[in-house]
Structure formats: structure tokens, C-alpha cells
Amino acid sequence: MSDMLPGDRPQYVSPHEREEALDLDAAQRAEPRALSNSEIQDRSAHVAGAKDAVIVADDLTAGYLPGVNILNGCDLYAKRGELVGIIGPNGAGKSTLLKALFGLVKVHTGQVTLSGEDITNVRADRLVSMGIGFVPQSNNVFPSLTIQENLEMGCYQEPKKFRERFDFVCDLFPALGERRAQRAGQLSGGERQMVAMGRALMMDPSVLLLDEPSAGLSPLLTDEVFVRVKEINATGVTVIIVEQNAMRCLQIVDRGYVLDQGRNAYTGSGRQLATDPQVVHLYLGTLAQA
């Protein structure tokens, strides 16, 4: 699906512009400026790509407090069946973007649509019933509940779905079925991530939002999580994944976004981004040479 964006290279703000953006003094002194050509190009590529996408965020500003924006004009789309990655430095707004899609952070301006329907600021529980699953970055299982009870919580809105979806999730993650009576609090970090993803799959979502599913895991378990994410995606679920393991993330996604200071800095196919010298230099560092 990486051929959705025109051009062979990702579009990006120039290194000069980025350096200026990183210089806080300069940023504070700077007058509001017109969009650069590359940013305008970004937007038109976004508009073209978003046309038949299943989920779209258009020019979002959003934040936790009135009048304070963490996202400063973010665009994102995912087509049906796509695996889309979001990478970027700590504090860039990656989690905030996922939360804005999922109704957990107030969108101040801009729009989120799901299959063409406006879902901006719709409540998370409604979004779950509309087909969006969300796995937050932390505290994403109920530790005192068993694996099975965690999965039951995943479809509390439609308990009748439980049997069929439990079988589906246990096909994907056989260990969850085998250990269904074990409390989630006794599981390893990797196993908890499987429970958290399984829980989000219980409502048969069309779009799954994953916030750093490999956080805190060993390289081996990280690889396993990525394999699982690919498997989930292969069942037809559109997946948007935020990852700190940027290089690994770019290796598995169809398309990616680099977020920086609440804005899209770069976008392109996973391969384009992973091999772009500027992205490598600015965001992938030594990992890229690994």
C-alpha cells in the first residue's frame, strides 16, 4: 500500500527549518510564518491519500488543557487493511495523537473521520462500538482479573460476542487460551501485551490503535510483538502503531509518519523513511546502522 503517496521520497521540512524549530529561542522570537512548499505538498499528498481511507485525522489541533495545543496541525490517514506507524522523539505527541483519534483528548480544531463519518470528540466507549480498538501505552490490563476475565471486559458492551471472539483471539495467541485462568498481574510484560491486544480485538474492531506495544520488552519479545501485530493486520484489521523502536517499526509498516513537536515532520512508506538520510540522521540515530 506504500504506493499511495506520490513521489519516490518522503516529503519533509528542510534541515534548516527543523534546526530552527529545535532552537527554542529562535522559535520564541519567530514571527508566525507561511507554510513552506514542502508542508503544502505534504497536505495535498495527505488529502489525496485520505480520500478512500478508513480513518482520517485532518489538521488536528488538540491538547489536555483549554487553549494549550499539544498537536499543532497533525494529518494522518490509514487505508483499509493498512499497517501505519507513528514514530518520533519523546514528547512529540504520538500518544496524544492516538488519544485524539480515540476521543480521550479534546480536539480543538480539525476533524477525525471513520469511514467518512465525523467522529471528532466522540466518546471512547462509542468509538469502541463503532469499530475502533485502543491499547494504551501503560496500565493496559486489569492485573487482578484473569486472562479470560480481561478478554470478557473487552466485549462487555456485547457479551454475546464473547465465545466467537475468544476463539478468534486464542487462535492468534494460543497461550492466552491455555492460561485463561491465570491472573494478568502474574504475567510477564510480553504476555500482558498479548492480553491487552487480545482484549482490544474482542469487539472485532476494523481499526486497532496500539501505543508502544513493545515498551519495556526484551529484543526477543519485541520481535514477537511485531510478528503478532503483523498477524493481526493480516486478518484484515487496519492497524496504527506508535513505536519507540523506530527502525523496527519502519521495517514492518506499510507507511509511516514522523511526528515532531506535535506536527508531521516526514511521511512516506516504511522503506522510504527507513532509508531517508535526514530521517536516519534526525530520528533513527545509531539504531539505523544496526
Question: What residues make contact with ligand ATP under the rule CB under 6 A?
Answer: 64, 70, 88, 90-96, 244
Please, is 27 exposed, middle or buried when counting C-beta atoms within 10 Å of its C-beta (0-12, 13-18, 19+)?
exposed
CA atoms within 13 Å, Cβ hemisphere of 177:
12
**Under 8 Å CB-to-CB from 202, ≥6 apart: which residues?**
151, 152, 154, 155, 161, 162, 165, 166, 169
Antiparallel, parallel or unpaired: β 255-260 and 263-269: antiparallel
Relative orientation angle of helices 162-172 and 189-201, to the nearest 10 degrees: 140
| Span near Mg ion by CB under 5 A; candidates 68-76, 95-103, 159-167, 225-233 | 95-103
In the list ligand ATP, Mg ion, none, the entry touching 92 (Cβ below 5 to 8 angstroms by class) is ligand ATP
Q: Which residue has the cell 490517514?
A: 77
CB of 243 to ligand ATP, least distance (A): 9
Contacts of 64 (CB under 8 A, 6+ apart): 70, 96, 105, 106
Give, as one character, the DSSP assignment of residue 90: T
Nearer CB in complex with ligand ATP: 150/222:
222
Cα separation, 208 vs 61, whole angstroms: 22
Q: Give the cell for residue 224.
A: 514477537
Q: Which is nearer to ligand ATP, 74 or 114 (CB)?
A: 74
Pick 173 or 226: Cβ nearer Mg ion: 226
Candidates 92-100, 139-147, 174-182, 228-236; binding stretch for Mg ion (CB under 5 A): 92-100
Under rule CB under 5 A, residue 95 binds Mg ion: yes
From the list ligand ATP, Mg ion, none, partner contacted by residue 70 (C-beta under 5 to 8 A by kind): ligand ATP
Q: How far is the CB of 212 from ligand ATP (least distance, A)?
A: 6
Nearest 5°: CA angle at 76, between 19 and 211?
90
CA nearest to 64, candidates 33, 46, 91, 84: 91
Rank residues 65 and 220 by Cβ distance to ligand ATP and give the closer one.
65
Tell me the closest approach of the beta carbon of residue 94 to Mg ion, in angstroms: 5
Site string for Mg ion, 48-87 (x = CB under 5 A): ----------------------------------------
Q: Report the nearest approach of ligand ATP to the CB of residue 268 (Å).
A: 19
Give backbone dihedrals phi and psi of 17, rounded to 5 degrees, phi first.
Answer: -60, -40
Judged by CB under 5 A, which stretch of 93-101, 161-169, 196-204, 264-272 contacts Mg ion?
93-101
Which listed option, Mg ion, ligand ATP, none, makes contact with residue 91 (CB within 5 to 8 Å by class)? ligand ATP
Q: How far is the CB of 18 from ligand ATP (least distance, A)?
A: 17
Least Å distance, CB 90 to ligand ATP, is 4
What distance, in Å, lies between the first and last C-alpha atoms of the chain? 26
Name the minimum Å distance from CB 170 to ligand ATP: 30
Please compute, for residue 109, the number of CA atoms within 13 A of its CA located in the half-sphere on the CB side: 7
93 binding partner (options ligand ATP, Mg ion, none; Cβ < 5 to 8 Å by kind): ligand ATP
Q: 94 or 255: whose CB is closer to ligand ATP?
A: 94
Interface with Mg ion (CB under 5 A): 94-95
